[in-house]
């Protein structure tokens, strides 16, 4: 993906997660908002790895949202491109701590 496409996909993931947690976990969302709305962009090698990370996040009861691309530009239709995770830094690090910055 090009830089602009990556930025758009990350934005979709953040907004998708926000929409999920605004009614389901408002206190977690409020903590995120009060602590600077931290966002960290990391890289992975495959959709399979993305699904493994999501399963780990879910096992820790961390809300997630995976963006699925429509396939109109650079990505094949229905490809999972980005996942957003919300939670305390140490819990999110348990899921993503082994990944490198993009």
* Domains annotated on the chain, with CATH: 3-101 (3.40.1490.10)
Side-chain half-sphere exposure of 92, counting CA atoms within 13 A: 16
Residue among 5, 19, 3 nearest 86 (CA): 19
Strands (E), the chain: 42-43, 64-68, 80-85, 100-101
Give pLDDT tens digits for 58-74.
Answer: 999 999 999 999 999 99
SS3 category, 42: strand
Residue 30, H or E segment: helix 26-34
Give pLDDT tens digits for 74-97.
Answer: 999 999 999 999 999 999 999 999
* Amino acid 5: pLDDT: 94
Q: What is the pTM of this model?
A: 0.92
Q: How many CB atoms sit inside 10 A of residue 100's CB?
A: 7
Q: For residue 46, what is the DSSP state?
A: -
Percent of the chain with pLDDT over 70: 100
Q: How many CB atoms sit inside 10 A of residue 60's CB?
A: 14
């Amino acid at each position: 993906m090009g830089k602009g496409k990556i930025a758009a996909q990350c934005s979709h993931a953040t907004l998708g997660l926000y929409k999920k947690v605004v009614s389901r976990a408002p206190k977690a969302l409020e903590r995120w908002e009060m602590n600077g709305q931290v966002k960290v962009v990391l890289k992975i090698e495959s959709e399979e790895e993305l699904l493994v990370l999501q399963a780990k996040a879910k096992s820790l009861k961390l809300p997630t949202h995976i963006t699925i691309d429509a396939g109109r530009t650079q990505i094949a239709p229905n490809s999972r491109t980005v996942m957003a995770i919300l939670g305390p830094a140490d819990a999110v690090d348990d899921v993503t701590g082994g990944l490198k910055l993009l």
